[in-house]
Amino acid sequence: MSIFDGMRINASGLTLERFKLDTISTNIANVNTTRTENGEGPYIKQQVAFEESFRRQTSGFNGETRTNSAGVRVTGINADEENVKIVFEPEHPDADENGYVAYPNVDMADEMVEMMTAMRTYDANVTAMNNNKDLLKRALEIGK
């Protein structure tokens, strides 16, 4: 295991949380979008899918190969197509022939909770990264 693995893991967490914040911002920006660019219904809420990332390492001492955690990685963005809101608004330009308009399934309260969680996790990763930097700096000072 490398002395920089902790920083790599924290960096992957920072990247993931930034990507989540970007996705949440897009969801919030489209909370009232009843027609997408291609004209196919309302905006559909997006969610980030991720998983733990692994890396194979071979030891230089005994030649043993191990699989170690390398942080997290984004595996994609999933569309949550459930719970689209249908509202009766016959005068709305996007109303169907019965006068109903499909609104996005974005709930502002849920998005704000997800945003706060992502921000707190981002802050925790920054703190852990700073602790790793301090640890490495102190290790260099041992030889003085």
If one counts the domains in the chain, the total is 1
State the pLDDT at residue 58: 72
Give burial (CB, 10 Å; 0-12/13-18/19+) of 24: buried
State the pLDDT at residue 139: 86
Residue 36 included in any domain: no
State the pLDDT at residue 21: 97
End-to-end CA distance of the chain: 25
Residue 20 included in any domain: yes
Residue 43 included in any domain: no
State the pLDDT at residue 116: 97
State the pLDDT at residue 63: 75
**pTM for the full predicted model:** 0.82
How many residues are recorded in the chain? 144
User: What's the domain range around 70?
Assistant: 5-31+50-82+105-141
Closest alpha carbon to 17 in 123, 122, 128 = 122
State the pLDDT at residue 1: 58
* pLDDT tens, the chain, 144 aa long: 577 888 889 999 999 999 999 999 999 999 999 888 877 889 999 999 999 888 887 776 777 887 778 889 999 999 988 888 899 989 988 888 899 999 999 999 999 999 999 999 999 999 999 999 998 898 888 877
Residue 97 included in any domain: no
